[in-house]
Amino acid sequence: MKSDPTGITLVVDRGGTPPQGRKISAEEAERLLLERLKSRESDFLDVHWELACFYSKTGRQELAQTCLERYVANTNGPEKRAGCYLALGQLMEQMRDFESAIFFYSRAFAIEPENNGTWYLIHNNLGFCLNHFGRYSEVEGYCQNAIKIDPSRSNAFKNLGVSLAGQGDYARAAGSFIAATKANAADGRALKLLERLLAEHPEVETKMPDIEEQIQGCRRAVTAVAEIRRQTQRENSTENRK
What's the rounded Cα separation, in Å, for the pair 5 and 47? 11
Residue 221 covered by a domain: no
Cα–Cα distance measured from residue 176 to residue 163, given in angstroms and rounded to the nearest whole number = 10
Q: Identify the domain containing residue 47 by its residue range.
A: 1-107
First to last CA, the chain: 31
The domain that holds 46 is classified in CATH as 1.25.40.10
User: Residue 55: its pLDDT value, please?
Assistant: 80
CA pair distance 213, 207, nearest whole angstrom: 14
Does residue 67 form part of some domain? yes
pLDDT of 119-128, one tens digit each? 999 999 999 9
Q: For residues 230 and 30, give the distance between their C-alpha atoms in angstroms, rounded to a whole number.
A: 34
Q: Is residue 138 part of a domain?
A: no
The whole-number pLDDT of residue 34 equals 64
Question: Would the pLDDT of 234 be above 70?
Answer: yes
Domains in the chain: how many in total?
1
Query: Of the candidates 115, 113, 89, which has an alpha carbon nearest to the alpha carbon of residue 102?
Result: 89
Of 22, 42, 18, the residue nearest 31 (C-alpha) = 18
DSSP state of 160: H
Residue 53 lies in a domain: yes
The answer to whether residue 184 is domain-embedded is no
Per residue in 44-101, pLDDT tens?
A: 677 777 887 888 788 888 888 888 888 888 888 899 999 989 999 999 999 999 999 9
C-alpha 17, offset from chain centre: 21
Long-range contacts of 196-200 (CB under 8 A, 24+ apart): 197/161, 197/165, 197/170, 197/173, 198/174
182-208, pLDDT tens digit by residue?
A: 999 999 999 999 999 999 999 999 999
The verdict on residue 7 lying in a domain is yes
The answer to the question of residue 103 being in a domain is yes
Provide the pLDDT confidence category of residue 32 given band limits of 50, 70 and 90: low
Residue 28 within any structural domain of the chain = yes
